[in-house]
Amino acid sequence: MKYTADLLLRATKLGTSTLFEASKIANSAIDPAIRPVWSGASIAGPAYPLECSPGDNLAIHLALEKVSRGSILVVSTGGFVAGYWGEVLTVAAEAAGVVGLVIDGGVRDISAITARRFPVFTRGISMRGTIKASAPSVGKTISFTGTPVSVGDLVVADDDGVLILPAAQVPTTLDQGQLRADNEAQMMSALAEGKTTLELMQLTKWRSE
Protein backbone atom coordinates (compact mmCIF):
# COMPACT_ATOMS: atom_id res chain seq x y z
CA MET A 1 0.00 0.00 0.00
CA LYS A 2 1.30 3.44 -0.96
CA TYR A 3 0.57 6.39 1.31
CA THR A 4 0.99 10.01 0.27
CA ALA A 5 3.34 12.29 2.16
CA ASP A 6 0.33 14.38 3.22
CA LEU A 7 -1.44 11.34 4.66
CA LEU A 8 1.63 10.29 6.64
CA LEU A 9 2.12 13.82 7.97
CA ARG A 10 -1.53 13.92 8.97
CA ALA A 11 -1.19 10.60 10.83
CA THR A 12 1.92 11.81 12.64
CA LYS A 13 0.25 15.05 13.71
CA LEU A 14 -2.88 13.31 14.97
CA GLY A 15 -0.73 10.89 16.98
CA THR A 16 -1.22 7.39 18.29
CA SER A 17 -3.59 8.15 21.16
CA THR A 18 -6.10 10.03 19.01
CA LEU A 19 -5.91 7.47 16.19
CA PHE A 20 -6.28 4.53 18.58
CA GLU A 21 -9.49 5.98 20.01
CA ALA A 22 -10.72 6.77 16.50
CA SER A 23 -9.94 3.29 15.16
CA LYS A 24 -12.06 1.38 17.71
CA ILE A 25 -9.75 -1.58 17.07
CA ALA A 26 -8.76 -2.99 20.46
CA ASN A 27 -5.62 -4.78 19.28
CA SER A 28 -4.32 -1.94 17.10
CA ALA A 29 -2.30 -0.70 20.09
CA ILE A 30 0.96 -2.62 20.46
CA ASP A 31 2.28 -3.83 23.83
CA PRO A 32 3.05 -0.62 25.79
CA ALA A 33 6.36 -2.14 26.93
CA ILE A 34 7.70 -1.32 23.45
CA ARG A 35 9.07 2.20 23.83
CA PRO A 36 11.09 4.69 21.75
CA VAL A 37 14.87 4.58 22.15
CA TRP A 38 15.00 8.38 22.18
CA SER A 39 12.36 10.80 23.41
CA GLY A 40 10.46 12.64 20.71
CA ALA A 41 10.78 9.93 18.07
CA SER A 42 7.73 10.03 15.80
CA ILE A 43 7.08 8.15 12.58
CA ALA A 44 4.34 6.97 10.25
CA GLY A 45 4.69 4.64 7.28
CA PRO A 46 3.76 1.31 5.71
CA ALA A 47 4.69 -1.82 7.62
CA TYR A 48 7.14 -4.43 6.41
CA PRO A 49 6.75 -7.39 8.80
CA LEU A 50 9.28 -10.11 9.50
CA GLU A 51 10.03 -12.68 12.14
CA CYS A 52 13.37 -13.53 13.72
CA SER A 53 14.23 -16.69 15.60
CA PRO A 54 15.22 -15.93 19.21
CA GLY A 55 18.74 -14.50 19.22
CA ASP A 56 19.03 -14.65 15.40
CA ASN A 57 18.80 -11.56 13.14
CA LEU A 58 19.29 -13.11 9.68
CA ALA A 59 15.70 -12.20 8.71
CA ILE A 60 16.50 -8.49 9.17
CA HIS A 61 19.46 -8.68 6.78
CA LEU A 62 17.30 -10.44 4.19
CA ALA A 63 14.50 -7.90 4.64
CA LEU A 64 16.80 -4.98 3.86
CA GLU A 65 17.26 -6.38 0.32
CA LYS A 66 13.50 -6.70 -0.26
CA VAL A 67 11.79 -3.86 1.60
CA SER A 68 10.25 -0.92 -0.28
CA ARG A 69 11.66 2.53 0.42
CA GLY A 70 9.69 4.50 2.99
CA SER A 71 8.72 1.38 4.96
CA ILE A 72 8.95 0.68 8.68
CA LEU A 73 10.32 -2.72 9.70
CA VAL A 74 8.08 -4.53 12.19
CA VAL A 75 10.17 -7.32 13.68
CA SER A 76 8.81 -10.12 15.85
CA THR A 77 11.30 -12.07 17.97
CA GLY A 78 8.86 -13.74 20.33
CA GLY A 79 9.87 -11.20 22.96
CA PHE A 80 13.43 -12.54 23.26
CA VAL A 81 15.61 -9.54 24.11
CA ALA A 82 19.03 -9.39 22.46
CA GLY A 83 20.90 -6.90 20.31
CA TYR A 84 19.22 -7.71 17.00
CA TRP A 85 19.87 -4.19 15.72
CA GLY A 86 22.64 -1.64 16.14
CA GLU A 87 24.59 1.04 14.32
CA VAL A 88 25.51 -1.10 11.31
CA LEU A 89 21.91 -2.05 10.56
CA THR A 90 20.79 1.53 11.17
CA VAL A 91 23.16 2.78 8.46
CA ALA A 92 22.11 -0.07 6.16
CA ALA A 93 18.44 0.71 6.75
CA GLU A 94 18.90 4.39 5.97
CA ALA A 95 20.63 3.46 2.71
CA ALA A 96 17.73 1.12 1.84
CA GLY A 97 15.21 3.88 2.51
CA VAL A 98 13.77 2.31 5.66
CA VAL A 99 12.38 5.08 7.88
CA GLY A 100 11.98 3.30 11.22
CA LEU A 101 12.05 0.11 13.27
CA VAL A 102 9.55 -1.49 15.63
CA ILE A 103 10.87 -4.63 17.35
CA ASP A 104 9.65 -6.70 20.27
CA GLY A 105 13.20 -7.91 20.93
CA GLY A 106 16.08 -5.58 21.68
CA VAL A 107 18.64 -3.22 20.16
CA ARG A 108 22.08 -1.86 21.03
CA ASP A 109 24.41 1.02 20.02
CA ILE A 110 21.88 3.40 21.52
CA SER A 111 24.11 6.48 21.36
CA ALA A 112 24.65 6.03 17.62
CA ILE A 113 20.95 5.43 16.93
CA THR A 114 20.05 8.52 18.94
CA ALA A 115 22.68 10.66 17.24
CA ARG A 116 21.35 9.64 13.82
CA ARG A 117 17.75 10.36 14.96
CA PHE A 118 16.64 7.07 13.48
CA PRO A 119 13.25 6.16 15.01
CA VAL A 120 13.48 2.86 16.90
CA PHE A 121 10.79 1.43 19.16
CA THR A 122 11.90 -1.60 21.14
CA ARG A 123 11.13 -3.83 24.10
CA GLY A 124 14.62 -3.52 25.53
CA ILE A 125 18.30 -2.73 25.18
CA SER A 126 20.92 -5.46 25.14
CA MET A 127 24.63 -5.55 24.39
CA ARG A 128 24.35 -9.26 23.57
CA GLY A 129 24.74 -9.93 19.84
CA THR A 130 22.90 -12.42 17.65
CA ILE A 131 23.65 -15.28 15.29
CA LYS A 132 22.62 -15.51 11.63
CA ALA A 133 21.27 -18.97 10.97
CA SER A 134 17.52 -18.87 10.23
CA ALA A 135 14.80 -16.62 8.90
CA PRO A 136 11.29 -17.83 9.80
CA SER A 137 9.39 -15.13 7.89
CA VAL A 138 10.23 -12.12 5.72
CA GLY A 139 7.51 -9.92 4.22
CA LYS A 140 4.63 -12.18 5.26
CA THR A 141 1.79 -11.48 7.69
CA ILE A 142 2.83 -11.98 11.31
CA SER A 143 1.30 -11.63 14.75
CA PHE A 144 3.14 -8.86 16.56
CA THR A 145 2.41 -8.90 20.31
CA GLY A 146 -1.08 -10.13 19.39
CA THR A 147 -1.71 -7.71 16.51
CA PRO A 148 -1.76 -9.02 12.92
CA VAL A 149 0.62 -7.07 10.67
CA SER A 150 0.72 -7.31 6.88
CA VAL A 151 2.82 -5.51 4.31
CA GLY A 152 1.30 -2.06 3.77
CA ASP A 153 -0.57 -1.73 7.07
CA LEU A 154 -0.04 1.71 8.55
CA VAL A 155 2.40 2.02 11.46
CA VAL A 156 2.20 5.16 13.58
CA ALA A 157 4.59 5.47 16.52
CA ASP A 158 5.43 8.23 18.98
CA ASP A 159 6.11 8.79 22.67
CA ASP A 160 2.67 7.37 23.53
CA GLY A 161 3.36 4.03 21.87
CA VAL A 162 2.97 2.11 18.62
CA LEU A 163 -0.24 1.75 16.62
CA ILE A 164 -0.82 -0.54 13.63
CA LEU A 165 -3.86 0.05 11.43
CA PRO A 166 -5.06 -2.36 8.73
CA ALA A 167 -4.56 -0.66 5.36
CA ALA A 168 -8.27 -0.85 4.48
CA GLN A 169 -9.24 1.08 7.61
CA VAL A 170 -6.71 3.89 7.35
CA PRO A 171 -8.87 6.49 5.53
CA THR A 172 -11.84 6.13 7.90
CA THR A 173 -9.63 6.14 10.98
CA LEU A 174 -7.84 9.31 9.89
CA ASP A 175 -11.15 11.05 9.22
CA GLN A 176 -12.52 10.03 12.62
CA GLY A 177 -9.23 11.01 14.22
CA GLN A 178 -9.49 14.49 12.73
CA LEU A 179 -13.00 14.87 14.13
CA ARG A 180 -11.70 13.90 17.59
CA ALA A 181 -8.82 16.38 17.29
CA ASP A 182 -11.19 19.17 16.23
CA ASN A 183 -13.53 18.44 19.13
CA GLU A 184 -10.61 18.44 21.57
CA ALA A 185 -9.44 21.79 20.22
CA GLN A 186 -12.87 23.23 20.93
CA MET A 187 -12.76 21.75 24.43
CA MET A 188 -9.36 23.36 25.08
CA SER A 189 -10.78 26.75 24.13
CA ALA A 190 -13.76 26.25 26.43
CA LEU A 191 -11.48 25.21 29.31
CA ALA A 192 -9.39 28.34 28.78
CA GLU A 193 -12.60 30.36 29.08
CA GLY A 194 -13.42 28.85 32.46
CA LYS A 195 -15.55 25.81 31.66
CA THR A 196 -14.80 22.62 33.58
CA THR A 197 -14.25 19.11 32.33
CA LEU A 198 -17.30 17.97 34.32
CA GLU A 199 -19.46 20.42 32.37
CA LEU A 200 -17.95 19.74 28.98
CA MET A 201 -18.09 15.97 29.37
CA GLN A 202 -21.58 16.07 30.89
CA LEU A 203 -20.38 14.59 34.16
CA THR A 204 -21.98 17.12 36.51
CA LYS A 205 -24.19 14.42 38.09
CA TRP A 206 -21.00 13.16 39.80
CA ARG A 207 -20.40 16.45 41.62
CA SER A 208 -20.44 16.18 45.40
CA GLU A 209 -23.29 17.89 47.13
Mean pLDDT of 184-195: 87
19 marked as part of a ligand binding site: no
CA 19 to chain CA mean position, Å: 12
116 marked as part of a ligand binding site: no
Answer yes or no: is pLDDT of 18 > 70.
yes
pLDDT digits (tens, 9 = 90+) for 101-110: 999 999 999 9
Answer yes or no: is pLDDT of 209 > 70.
no
With 0-12 / 13-18 / 19 or more C-beta atoms within 10 angstroms meaning exposed / middle / buried, residue 190 is: middle
Strand-pair partners of 107? 85, 125
Mean pLDDT of 156-167: 98
Q: What is the CATH number of domain 5-168?
A: 3.50.30.40
H-state helical runs in the chain: 5-23, 58-63, 87-96, 110-116, 170-192, 197-200
109 marked as part of a ligand binding site: yes
88 marked as part of a ligand binding site: yes
Residues of the chain with CATH 3.50.30.40: 5-168
pLDDT of residue 188: 86
C-beta separation of 113 from 84 below 8 A: no
pLDDT digits (tens, 9 = 90+) for 111-151: 999 999 999 999 999 999 999 999 999 999 999 999 999 99
184 marked as part of a ligand binding site: no
CA 26 to chain CA mean position, Å: 15
176 residue type, one letter: Q
Report the percent of the chain where pLDDT is more than 90.
Answer: 86
Answer yes or no: is pLDDT of 52 > 80.
yes
pLDDT of residue 84: 98
86 marked as part of a ligand binding site: yes
pLDDT confidence band for 197 (50 / 70 / 90):
confident
Query: Whose CA is closest to 120, among 175, 88, 179, 74?
Result: 74
